[in-house]
Amino acid sequence: MLLSLIILGILGGLITGISPCILPILPVILVTGGADSARTASTEFGQTGIAKDSADNVQALFSRRSAVLGNAAPAPMQRTASRWRPYQVVGGLVLSFSLFTLLGSVILAALHLPQDTLRILGITFLIIVGLSMLIPPLERLLEKPFAKFSKLGAKRSTTRGGFLMGLALGLVYVPCAGPVLAAITLAGATGNIGIETVALTLSFAFGTAIPLLIFALAGRSIAERVKTFRTHQRGVRTASGILLIALSIGLVFNVPAQLQRAIPNYTEGIEQTISQDTQNNIISSSIGGSISSCRPDEEKLQDCGSAPELAGGTGNFNTENQPSLAHMRGKVTLVDFWAYSCINCQRTAPHLNELYAKYHDYGLEIVGVHTPEYAFEHEGKNVQAGIENLGIKYPVVQDNDYAIWRAYSNRYWPAHYLIDSEGKLRAVHYGEGGHKVTEAQVRELLKAANPQVQLPDPIHKDDAQEETQNAHDARTPETYLGSKRAMYFAGQESYSNGTRTFKPADRLAVDQYDLNGTWSITPERIEPQGNDGTLRINYRAHGAQVVAGGSGTIEVRRNGTTEKIHVDGAPNAHHIVRGDEQSSGVIELKVSSGVQLYSLTFS
């Protein structure tokens, strides 16, 4: 059992180290862990007797030495770039992250400190280090506490700064959730830490360290081969400071999460394989019975026994009273375990929002159970901001004590538990995807609960359903606006990646669209540049939605009327046409700068 945990921990760490979640801190690893340890082309000395080296970045805060002490005339002292620095940065990161994840909640609770204290300290440290690279007087001021080390008269290297930098990065490092990390987090949050948990934590940290170290060493290799790194130390130093400050500000405003949502989860298949192995090795079932044997990701509905009650929550959002399965008896309920900083959860949220909007009036309830993955996710204000950013309208229960998580023997963020109108668990799904299957299961349970119900057309249609729908009621097909899948553009200009200026098409046939103004085109989305941009589409449908994200407004002009839509946050669907009857014509969307358009959907 212990050997299995160690192997799975290493595999889970390896997958985490190459997943999209590592991308926000990857540039910092490449520069501060790699480039800062590169050897320069020479070791020339200036008047102060200090060697020039390419480690003139973050470590300067902690390891610069005075060339002359008092009136003494010491032997020349040389600061060298430590070849161990990549190992120190990565080692500090994985040590800090492991301790923070395993013990952070317990320590902060014992000291009666807010659960996001360590994260705030880490961000503050990174900002101070970045500023010290840009402002030499600030750097000298911060170096004073370490001046006594210069009395040793020995050759100094950049070791201390590397390890401290790694410690700070570990406090702000938020990898994607998986079953391995879930087991570590649960044990740390509940104080149930044994030899298995320690072994799992250490093996996970070791697995994570391997790809991070490879990235850092690659950064050093590049720096030693590119002349600019060796001959423009001041510029490299300034760029490093700006990079650290930008990362810190981005963390404050959750920019890395927006970047990660936009990047496909290319490790999802491997993560799912690891998940299947870990479900039987990491966390034992806490309730037994048929629910523990409920097979995840089955298309066919199962009978997994009575679903556990949603008891033990520590707070509620979007509702005054904590949701109860007993009170929702007669309705179909989807319980979604999530955490607001979990990128996989953020990618899933728009699909749940759409499912809730489509079927809530027909008897579907969705209850989000926010079980924190990290200490800072315990804070209610942070959860509330996450709910608002993702546009979640359904009730959310805060599960800081992991009571509901353990009642369901959950292992994953996100995880969906589908419950029928009689309170029985009928389906389980772990991770992203599976939206078409989930919708089909919801529809089946809604019809079983009320055989007379007339459900709307499904969000996800199979081929037979779509052919029937098109024959009965022709409508504009889903229109993707990114260059990767764009099909119905009517303009004469090149519709490819880059910033391009468009003019309205001379003729706009049915189902076609055009653009006016300057737009940035990417594979997945489009965005006006500078002034507002205009999109027109000649549609036919009962209803229409635009999937948009970012911040700004969309003016919808149709049949002589104008409606303004405010966009703020993650990509979400916004209604631009509502109606029971088929309609057609040209819709014009005036889009402000800062708003990204992904697609237009029609029903």
Contact 560, 572 (CB under 8 A): no
So where are the chain's domains? 1-35+82-267, 305-451, 479-602
Q: Side chain identity at 246, as an amino acid letter?
A: A
d(C-alpha 533, C-alpha 225), whole Å: 44
Q: What is the pLDDT of residues 16-47, one digit of tens each?
A: 666 666 666 667 676 665 555 555 544 333 43
Rounded mean pLDDT of 266-291? 46
- Fold match between domain 305-451 and domain 479-602: no
pTM of the predicted model, to two decimals? 0.46
- Can you read off the two tokens belonging to residue 601? 């959907």
Q: What is the pLDDT of residues 564-575, one digit of tens each?
A: 999 988 777 788
> In which region does residue 557 sit, left (phi positive, over 0), alpha (psi from -120 to 50) or beta (all else)?
beta
- Side by side, which strands form the sheet with 315-317? 315-317, 396-398, 364-370, 332-338, 415-419, 425-430
Q: Which CATH number fits domain 479-602: 2.60.120.260, 3.30.2010.30, 3.30.465.10, 3.20.20.10?
A: 2.60.120.260
Q: What is the pLDDT of residues 151-176, one digit of tens each?
A: 443 444 444 556 776 776 666 655 55
Q: What integer pLDDT is reported at residue 321 of this predicted model? A: 86
What's the first-to-final CA gap in the chain, in angstroms? Answer: 52
**Which SS3 state, helix, strand or coil, does residue 591 take?**
strand
Residues of the chain above pLDDT 90, percent: 26
- Residue 395 pLDDT grade (very low, low, confident, very high; cuts 50, 70, 90): very high
d(C-alpha 314, C-alpha 324), whole Å: 14
Count other Cβ atoms within 10 Å, centred on residue 162. Answer: 30
In 319-444, DSSP assigns E strands to 332-338, 364-370, 396-398, 415-419, 425-430
d(C-alpha 527, C-alpha 550), whole Å: 9
Q: What integer pLDDT is reported at residue 343 of this predicted model? A: 72
Helix (H) or strand (E) holding 551: strand 544-558
Burial class (CB in 10 A: 0-12, 13-18, 19+), 300: exposed
**Which SS3 state, helix, strand or coil, does residue 489 take?**
strand
d(C-alpha 116, C-alpha 171), whole Å: 10
Task: Pick the closest to residue 25 from 71, 94, 74 (CA basis).
Answer: 94
d(C-alpha 203, C-alpha 198), whole Å: 9
* pLDDT tops 80 at residue 266: no
d(C-alpha 268, C-alpha 165), whole Å: 30
Q: What integer pLDDT is reported at residue 375 of this predicted model? A: 66
For the ranges 42-51, 261-270, 478-487, 551-560, the maximum mean pLDDT occurs at: 551-560
d(C-alpha 76, C-alpha 154), whole Å: 9
> In which region does residue 194 sit, left (phi positive, over 0), alpha (psi from -120 to 50) or beta (all else)?
beta
Can you name the CATH fold of 305-451?
A: Glutaredoxin (3.40.30)
* pLDDT tops 50 at residue 576: yes
Distances (CA, A) of 405 to 158, 302, 402: 44, 21, 5
- Can you read off the two tokens belonging to residue 62? 């902690």
